[in-house]
Amino acid sequence: MPFLFEYIWCTMGKKLIQISFLSTILLTIQSCKKLVDVNPPSSSINSGNVYQNDATAIAAITNLYVNISKSDLISGGISSLSLFPGLSADELALYPGATINSVQYYYQNSLTSNNVNNPDYWSSFYKEISVANSAIEALTASSSLTSAVKQQLIGEAKFIRAFCYFYLVNLYGDVPLVLTTDYKVNSTLVRTSKDEVYKQIITDLKEAKNLLSINFLDASLINATNERVRPTKWAATALLARIYLYLKQWPEAETEASSIIDNNALFDTVSLANVFLKNNKEAIWQLQPVNAGWNTEDAKVFLLPASGPDQGGHPVYLSSQVINNFEIGDQRKAIWVDTVIQSGKKYYYPAKYKNANYNDPVTEYQTVFRLSEQYLIRAEARANGAGTGMSGAIADLSRIRIRAGLSIYNGSVSQEAVINAIQHERQVELFTEWGHRWFDLKRSGKIDEVMSIVTPIKGGKWDVNWQWYPISSKELLLNPNLKQNTGY
């Protein structure tokens, strides 16, 4: 499915951009029946009036989620963040002789500007940002939409823009801050400091919180639903809590996480077996599957067949660093990890998502944000002095441990010990989910300590500069003002 607008640095003419826009709107309306269960308008559609009609405006924003959800895990795309950063970190091992070059490059931390193209997160996220910018401008100017629909869609566009920039700054460091649709300006932008990008992310999320519904909405964006596939105020709050955690703004992180945790009407922890089912109460935001026949791309790749890992469609399994960090009795290892024996060797693999049978009924949605992360965010914020302090941190940490079948935390109550315990809990709770481990190693300052040991085991050589992915050579050619990350 083509994107709504060509990539922001594209120099193609406006007519081609309009064709891409129109075909996307029509295909989105036709293919996303649950997210957009509305008929296309009878009048002609063009790029000037897409945001003048509820149906086409909803379809335009829906396409942002379609583009994320449709990504093949191995071929790349935004949802492959559960795979490739896990390979870059210490979460996943690679089957010997894997024939997919991109997997090998990420695994051995041997990326260059010439081999980073698949997946190329840079272009994937900026395509989404381009659409979000266009939507924000057009929706703001529109006077014909239903008021509630307009408000929700602007909130969703600002949320998605913030979501994309969060991942860009954590994958690449400083990045161009693109906030308009003027491609002549955008094509020459220099990289903006991470601090400035974070300020914009926070601004977008605060505005999104005020605009987005407190309820999950159906395709009309008017009625409440049980489907947790469109962002709400709570999705914006969850990301804002994470942002404040990364920026070490502990009181703010504690406050945002608490507002979700305290909303028992919508959110609660559920049994381990139910965490990744569609629309379960722990889910804050999920992606509805759009690839025909499959529940999730994660299950399709991560669940190993009886024959074990292979060189093509199932090239990865869990590393010993993850497996050895589960405590005895941790039910997450029993329920979220499975094994297969091949040629006398036991392979452990992620089994958070269980359904990898083609054409089975849809029972699972890929989860982007969930409540357990908010408990761990609040625990870390409290361990650093926010809210109820250390006692509250231990209570939050123990909540996650008890759900996993473990005892409450009974170790040292020193700040260092509790924070280390929280980091350990994040590793065994959030493994193979959206790059958490790769980002945690960087923000905790432990990436050199860990990767200098792990990368040689993986057959590579570690350099601290490689905590940031390189910008692909094609992007550097398109914008001469872009500077490559150090070390590439």
Note the pLDDT tens digit of each residue in 169-210. 999 999 999 999 998 899 999 999 999 999 999 999 999 999
Q: 7-16, 314-323, 392-401: which range is least confident on average?
A: 7-16
In angstroms, the CA 164 to CA 312 distance is 29
Q: Which two tokens stand for residue 310?
A: 């292979």
Over residues 47-103, the pLDDT tens digits come to 558 999 999 999 999 999 999 999 888 888 999 999 999 999 999 999 987 767 789
pLDDT at 119 over 50: yes
Q: How confident is the model at residue 117, as a pLDDT?
A: 79
Q: How confident is the model at residue 43, as a pLDDT?
A: 36
Position of tokens 């010993």?
320
- Could you tell me the CA-to-CA distances from 333 to 273, 304, 348, 395, 431 in Å, in that order? 12, 16, 10, 22, 11
Q: How confident is the model at residue 6, as a pLDDT?
A: 32
pLDDT at 306 over 90: yes
Give the mean pLDDT of 240-267: 98
In a domain, 231, yes or no: yes
Give the mean pLDDT of 449-454: 98
Q: Which residue has the higher pLDDT, 110 or 2?
A: 110
pLDDT at 8 over 70: no
Q: 72-81, 223-232, 347-356, 415-424: which range is least confident on average?
A: 72-81
- CATH number at 58 reads 1.25.40.390
Name the nearest CA neighbour of 251 among 443, 387, 444: 387
pLDDT at 19 over 90: no
Q: Which two tokens stand for residue 100?
A: 């997919």
- Strands (DSSP E) along 409-455, which ranges? none
Q: How confident is the model at residue 99, as a pLDDT?
A: 66
- Mean per-residue pLDDT over the chain, rounded: 91
Tell me the whole-structure pTM to 2 decimals.
0.92
In angstroms, the CA 464 to CA 41 distance is 54
In a domain, 162, yes or no: yes
Q: How confident is the model at residue 72, as a pLDDT?
A: 84
Give the mean pLDDT of 330-354: 97
Distance, C-alpha 484 to centroid of its chain: 24
In a domain, 177, yes or no: yes
Residues whose CB falls within 8 Å of the CB of residue 327, separated by 6 or more in sequence, listed in order:
406
Give the mean pLDDT of 370-388: 98
Q: How confident is the model at residue 155, as a pLDDT?
A: 98
Give the mean pLDDT of 347-369: 97
Helices assigned H by DSSP within 54-144? 54-69, 84-88, 101-107, 121-141
CA atoms within 13 A on the CB side of 249: 15
In angstroms, the CA 396 to CA 245 distance is 15
In angstroms, the CA 103 to CA 100 distance is 6
For 350, the enclosing helix (H) or strand (E) is strand 345-350
Q: How confident is the model at residue 49, as a pLDDT?
A: 80
- Could you tell me the CA-to-CA distances from 396 to 257, 387, 391, 403, 432 in Å, in that order? 11, 12, 9, 11, 22
Distance, C-alpha 360 to centroid of its chain: 25
Domains in the chain: how many in total? 1
In a domain, 255, yes or no: no
Q: How confident is the model at residue 340, as a pLDDT?
A: 98
Give the mean pLDDT of 298-310: 96
In a domain, 174, yes or no: yes
- Domain hosting residue 232, numbered range: 1-69+120-247
Cβ pair 111, 105 in contact under 8 A: yes
